[in-house]
């Protein structure tokens, strides 16, 4: 309290008036995205296991158990056939059987996930060597991987995880956070996936050649 009565009120009003003209703290989502730390794990994602299949078994137990029904499952099922959605038991009975089959160890054909097939990891090794397998340079590694392959194949991510020691989930989280990184090959006109892999392999070869010769790519 100040000695002059009412002075505190006037000072308060002065403060709010200066605030009136100051830059605002609001982040105008969705036009602007918040500046989120790389370690932020507040984003829910379904992950793939080490065999390249969805870790989620679509057993709906989480949706069933959720007391306030905030978990809702939806999307295309792993075969790309129909929409799965949380509903009465008859709609997920079939899914449960399929999960059981997968758990039993027998292979389940996943035609929708052919891009989980093995890729040529030569180019990736070059990139990782260049960065000394340092997980702190993850973003650069991922960007260069995308530059080499056109996208981020799951096999590449797993290779990065194995060699750098970073957790797969963390790499996945980092990669999925940045918009310019993608997990699907770009819908390039006319180039089938096999062809793209070929292109990627060629590019990887030339990159490696350049590295071996020490010309760093500026000649071409």
Total residues belonging to the chain: 220
Look up residue 2 and give its two tokens: 């100040």
Nearest-approach distance from CB 13 to another protein, in angstroms: 5
* Smaller CB separation from another protein, 115 or 131: 131
Binders of another protein among residues 35 to 54 (CB under 8 A) are 35-42
Q: How far apart are CA 57 and CA 210, in angstroms?
A: 45
Look up residue 63 and give its two tokens: 């949706």
Q: Does residue 6 belong to the site contacting another protein (CB under 8 A)?
A: yes
Q: Does residue 67 belong to the site contacting another protein (CB under 8 A)?
A: no
According to DSSP, residue 85 is labeled: E
Q: Does residue 17 belong to the site contacting another protein (CB under 8 A)?
A: yes
Q: Does residue 1 belong to the site contacting another protein (CB under 8 A)?
A: yes
Q: To which residue do tokens 């036009």 refer? A: 31
Assess contact for 178 and 139: CB atoms under 8 A: yes
Q: Does residue 104 belong to the site contacting another protein (CB under 8 A)?
A: no
Look up residue 152 and give its two tokens: 């981020």
Which residues form the interface with another protein (CB under 8 A)?
1-2, 5-9, 11-13, 15-17, 19-22, 24-26, 28, 35-42
């Amino acid at each position: 309290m100040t000695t002059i009565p009412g002075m505190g009120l006037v000072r308060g009003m002065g403060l709010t008036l200066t605030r009136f003209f100051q830059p605002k703290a609001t982040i105008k989502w969705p036009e602007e995205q918040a500046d989120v730390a790389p370690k932020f794990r507040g984003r829910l994602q379904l992950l793939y296991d080490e065999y390249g299949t969805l870790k989620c078994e679509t057993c709906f137990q989480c949706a069933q158990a959720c007391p306030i029904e905030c978990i809702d499952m939806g999307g295309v099922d792993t075969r790309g056939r129909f929409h799965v959605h949380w509903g009465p038991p008859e709609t997920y009975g079939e899914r449960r059987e399929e999960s059981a089959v997968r758990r039993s160890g027998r292979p389940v054909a996943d035609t929708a996930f052919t891009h989980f097939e093995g890729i040529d990891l030569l180019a990736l090794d070059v990139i990782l060597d260049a960065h000394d397998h340092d997980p702190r340079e993850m973003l650069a590694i991922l960007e260069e991987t995308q530059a080499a392959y056109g996208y981020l194949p799951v096999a590449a991510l797993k290779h990065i995880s194995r060699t750098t020691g970073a957790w797969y989930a963390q790499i996945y989280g980092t990669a999925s956070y940045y918009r310019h990184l993608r997990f699907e090959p770009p819908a390039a006109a006319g180039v089938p996936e096999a062809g793209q892999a070929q292109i990627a392999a060629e590019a990887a070869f030339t990159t490696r050649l350049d590295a071996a010769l020490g010309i760093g790519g500026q000649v071409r």
